Structure 1
Amino acid sequence: FFVLFFSTHDELQTLDVDDAFFSTPEDIAARALKPQGGVSFIRTFKKQEEDQAVNLPANLNELVNNATYVQSPDNLVWKFFYDLKGSTEYPFQGGVFQWARYRINGTGLNEKEKIFSESLNKHEDTLTLATLRIFSNGLGQPHFHFNANEMGFVISGCGQVGVILSGVTSNFNIGIGDVIFFPVGTQHYIKSVCDEDLVVVLAYSTGNQLETLRMNDYFHGTADHILAQLFFKNQEEFQKFPRAFK
């Protein structure tokens, strides 16, 4: 099956080829398409009662004689295609990411991936996509994104999610087939709680480079004397946090 993400928060508006065809006056369609037989041929088309959004007629073999096509050159294919499964893995303590995203100057991308990256960035309201695998009992630590909403679909495993907003944490469990949503600027975390890995497909509402700040980064980026004032603890206590932790 396909997991599809669309970059809109409004009701999705879709127009299929057959809907557009049957919504066009017969004489207009005939003048535009110029078939043999003119309007008479156009009138041989009959609108099906069932929605043809996913079309698999019972007599498909009789209708289609040749479904082959010529593969387009790479410079065209990779504008619209990305081999996410075959892309570089980015491990972290507790799991691994793979990304289909825009990177400034193509950092970390091969030549084909750069084509996709630039194509993504040239269009408005595009998406960044990722697969996230969190190992059993692993943690995707608290973090938030400056420039994107995030939505995910659980492929396998099960986990616990926390969404932290204005000092209030919403905790809930997730499993196969569930969808999660994190608004831009909302701190969140995901923990795997099954014996098997938790695998999630993630989509981010930006075609620019994703901007993320993780808890360990902003905590360690704050001076010890500031933390001491915030938490009413001795400044030396904050030396107990290992700065190499990721």
Structure 2
Amino acid sequence: MDNQAFEMHGESIPSSSKTAEWPKKEERKSSCSLMKIFLVCLLACVITTAIGVLVLSLIYTESIGFIQRTVVKNDDTTSQAPVEKEVDIKFRFLNQLGKSKVHRFPGGDIQWARFRNDVNEYESVEEMEFGKSINNFRSKMTFGTLRIKSNGLRVPHWHFNANEHGYLLKGTAWVGVVDADDSVVTTYNVTAGQVIFFPRNTLHWIKNIGKEECLFLLFFTTHEELKTLDVDDAFFSTPEDIAARALKPQGGVNFIRTFKKQTEDQAINLPPNLQELVQNASYVQSPDNLVWRYFYDLKGSSEYPFPGGIFQWARYRINGTGLNETEKIFSESLNKHENTLTLATLRIFSNGLGQPHFHFNANEMGYVISGCGKVGVIASDVTTNFNIDIGDVIFFPVGSQHYIKSVCDEDLFLILAYSTGNQLETLRMNDYFHATADHILAQIFFKEQNEFKKIPKASKKSGK
């Protein structure tokens, strides 16, 4: 029986087997070509990825490292600021102010230990570490030095976001404060060792009326970038017709147009033709009941001795304890305004010690006026010890235990500020050891209970 289907199938087999050999060779060649293309693409991807990672690494390294900048020196030469990667933890609590930028004006200069929004405004990674630290701890504190030449003027201005507390280290100045009630202007004279106070958003000025320069040590109650407006800047930012209508001068707008705007910032002003501009000046002292709201004679105040040295205070005291009538006015003024500071001078005798202690209700910031010392800080996550010298700024976060020791032949002398307008609350190591039961101490330190009777109580309080 003929089977056509089988015959057709049988005939097709040899035909297909003969034609199948050539495509297999082509497939092998095609597969090889595809493999080569795949490998080339893979290699290109690897190279591209490596380059991308390298570029991102460089960008990241640049962003986390301090930005290298060209520094112009006084001799007109240039150098590159070093790129630092790691910073000693002590600079969270130490600012070597003498190394910071000096902002010069016709009438004086200013230096800062403060937080900056723009990292390019820091002079070094150490300075940036301090700025970040006072900001991270929400310290409500910033420090600066203000030098005013003889006859120079810190122009009338106000601060949007901070009270200002100052200590006059040298010189003689005349200060003016315009109160919220525009009919009350308080003016007073300040000499070395005295304190000035300007509440936030209060217009004030400082005029050097002596023959030597004035040096003010200033504390501001903000850990953010300080915001200030000078009167001349406010004036020239006001439309002429608006200024004329507000001031109502003779000559109207034409008179307003005669005001001259300086090309440079005049924050501390001293025109070369000052004698031509000013023929008569009087430096009036307002009544005590006005002056002492913004002034305190720290140098002439009571001394509070302790075994290692002496404190003097410009502070609030509950019920005015230990204060005379004028000091009570200042004390109440501090407590009345929000976020004010307590100021103090601390003198530690040669080789004396301000023993370990901490503050319940305040951060602390200080400036070394004379002498040299050693400081120790124990914060929640770090412990550090470092030396301090003239011109250094120190910072102790609230609750951190710290000590200050004089290590020179001369006394160590500092101006200190505490971020509270209330009565300062402090606990010293000697006090908390005696306040802790002996059997608790014995269990903590693996020492017999009666051994702790060898620790004497402090004979005098520091008043701190």
Counterpart CA distance in 2 for 1:124 and 1:100 is 16
Counterpart CA distance in 2 for 1:78 and 1:193 is 37
Question: 1:27-61 CA distances to partner (integer Å, 9 max, x unpaired)?
Answer: 11111111111111111112101211101111111
Counterpart CA distance in 2 for 1:46 and 1:64 is 16
Structure 2 counterpart of 1:233: 447
Contact 2:378 2:384 in 1 (8 A): yes
Identity of aligned residues (%): 85
What residue identity is the alignment partner of 1:158?
A: C
Structure 2 counterpart of 1:96: 310
Structure 2 counterpart of 1:141: 355
**Aligned partner of residue 374 in structure 2, secondary structure:** strand
Confirm whether residue 198 of structure 1 aligns to residue 412 of structure 2. Answer: yes
* Structure 1 pair 204–60 and aligned structure 2 pair: CA distance change class (3 A): same
Question: 1:197-239 CA distances to partner (integer Å, 9 max, x unpaired)?
Answer: 0000001111111111111111111111111111111100101
- Relative to the length of structure 2, the TM-score reads 0.52
Structure 2 counterpart of 1:207: 421
What residue identity is the alignment partner of 2:305?
A: P
Structure 2 counterpart of 1:64: 278
Counterpart CA distance in 2 for 1:18 and 1:244 is 55
Contact 1:216 1:245 in 2 (8 A): no
The count of aligned residue pairs is 246
Structure 2 counterpart of 1:13: 227
Confirm whether residue 109 of structure 1 aligns to residue 323 of structure 2. Answer: yes
**Aligned partner of residue 4 in structure 1, secondary structure:** strand
Confirm whether residue 216 of structure 1 aligns to residue 421 of structure 2. Answer: no
Contact 1:143 1:213 in 2 (8 A): yes
Confirm whether residue 118 of structure 1 aligns to residue 332 of structure 2. Answer: yes
**Where does structure 2 lack aligned partners over 5 or more consecutive residues?**
1-214
Counterpart CA distance in 1 for 2:457 and 2:351 is 22
Counterpart CA distance in 2 for 1:239 and 1:220 is 9
The structure with the greater share of residues assigned to helix is: 2
**Aligned partner of residue 15 in structure 1, secondary structure:** strand
Counterpart CA distance in 1 for 2:222 and 2:338 is 11
Structure 2 counterpart of 1:2: 216
**Aligned partner of residue 91 in structure 1, secondary structure:** strand
Please list every run of at least 4 consecutive aligned residues from structure 1 whose deviation after the TM superposition is greater than 3 angstroms: none
**Aligned partner of residue 319 in structure 2, secondary structure:** helix
What residue identity is the alignment partner of 1:2?
A: F
Counterpart CA distance in 2 for 1:124 and 1:102 is 13
Counterpart CA distance in 2 for 1:175 and 1:18 is 38
Following superposition, the deviation at residue 167 of structure 1 comes to 7.1
Confirm whether residue 186 of structure 1 aligns to residue 412 of structure 2. Answer: no
Question: 1:111-160 CA distances to partner (integer Å, 9 max, x unpaired)?
Answer: 11000000000000111000000000000000111111110000000000
The structure with the greater share of residues assigned to strand is: 2
RMSD over equivalenced CA pairs, Å: 1.0
Counterpart CA distance in 2 for 1:143 and 1:76 is 36
Following superposition, the deviation at residue 82 of structure 1 comes to 0.2
What residue identity is the alignment partner of 2:354?
A: G
Contact 2:430 2:458 in 1 (8 A): no
**Largest Rg, 1 or 2:** 2
What residue identity is the alignment partner of 1:222?
A: T
Contact 1:78 1:113 in 2 (8 A): yes
What residue identity is the alignment partner of 1:163?
A: V
**Where does structure 1 lack aligned partners over 5 or more consecutive residues?**
none
Contact 2:304 2:310 in 1 (8 A): yes
Matching of residues 40-59 of structure 1 within 5 Å: 40-59=254-273
Which of the residues 248, 251, 255 maps onto 1:37?
251
Following superposition, the deviation at residue 245 of structure 1 comes to 4.5
Structure 2 counterpart of 1:128: 342
What residue identity is the alignment partner of 1:186?
A: S
**Aligned partner of residue 366 in structure 2, secondary structure:** strand
Following superposition, the deviation at residue 244 of structure 1 comes to 3.9
Structure 2 counterpart of 1:175: 389
